[in-house]
Amino acid sequence: MSLPIWTPAALSSELRAISGRFWRLVEAQHQISTLKLVDTLEEQSLLENLLEESKPALPPECQGLDYLLATPFRYGAVYPHGSRFRRAGRTLGVFYASEKVETALSEMAFYRLLFFADSPDTPLPANAAEYTAFSAPVSTRAALDLTAPPLDRDRAAWTDLQNYEPCQALAEAARAAGGEAILYESVRDPRHGRNIALLTASVFSAREPAERQTWRIRLSATGVQAICEFPKVRIGFSRADFGADPRIAP
């Protein structure tokens, strides 16, 4: 497949306004991991501050942001593996999220299964893991929509299951054109919901997440089961849902 060529000049005329809340999942362990190491809340606060000082610096636009929003934009550390819109190495951060929490769950389910597929000798965890789903308010006048004309004509490149080079090149051109966000189709969601890649933290329209949910996610030989108590929702994914990717064996 030849790579689509979108120059910054061409992309600048395709920038459009978007706003809304987008969902992301993180492991809930971050909330209690340091508490296990101390005796009081004061000691935990001190430990958290020490850990924060040891981390790579945040860019200026992240100052005052909740750490759930700011963390993907940290500078200074080497990004170990490339992702869809970010190259490996000392590259600028990207915040990935989804229009719907169900799409965010499908992304998490796929990558949890992929981890164990890449480590076949590692047994699946016996218990469900707890995750926090949170929505981030976003507003920008400089977004690209890969699911709408004319950018959707290169859908095959944007939705490749393993080759991220076209998307990474697009993100670089988008930054050069002043782009701040990229809407795109999720290739992990069986319903093909939309994701967003935020290229800068300046697009957050609030300093903290707008909503949070607690999910318990269990991996099994047949797939992934996710349960939320409030609101009460149950979602399941089979390995066949991700079977188009050869790295996930049905």
Tell me phi and psi for residue 77, to 5 degrees: -95, 150
> What pLDDT is stored for residue 1 in this prediction?
55
The closest of 26, 70, 37, 75 to 208, measured between CA atoms, is 70
Over range 109-120, report the average pLDDT. 93
Instruction: Indicate if the pLDDT at residue 141 is higher than 60.
Output: yes
Q: Is 94 exposed, middle or buried (0-12, 13-18, 19+ CB in 10 A)?
A: buried
175-209 per-position pLDDT tens digit:
999 999 999 999 999 999 999 999 999 999 999 99
| Cα-based distances in Å from 14 to 28, 142, 152, 179 | 38, 9, 12, 9
Alpha-carbon distance 93 to 79, whole Å?
9
- The encoded tokens of residue 236 equal 């399941």
Alpha-carbon distance 138 to 18, whole Å?
8
What sign does the dihedral 207-210-216-219 (CA atoms) show? negative
Taking phi over 0 as left and psi of -120 to 50 as alpha, with beta for the rest, 20 belongs to: left
What sign does the dihedral 107-112-116-119 (CA atoms) show? positive
Of 27-31, 170-174, 199-203, the least confident: 27-31
> What pLDDT is stored for residue 186 in this prediction?
98
DSSP reduced 3-state for 235? strand
Tell me phi and psi for residue 207, to 5 degrees: -85, -15
> What pLDDT is stored for residue 57 in this prediction?
74
More confident residue, 173 or 51: 173
The domain ranges of the chain are 8-242
Q: Are 98 and 107 in contact (CB under 8 A)?
A: yes
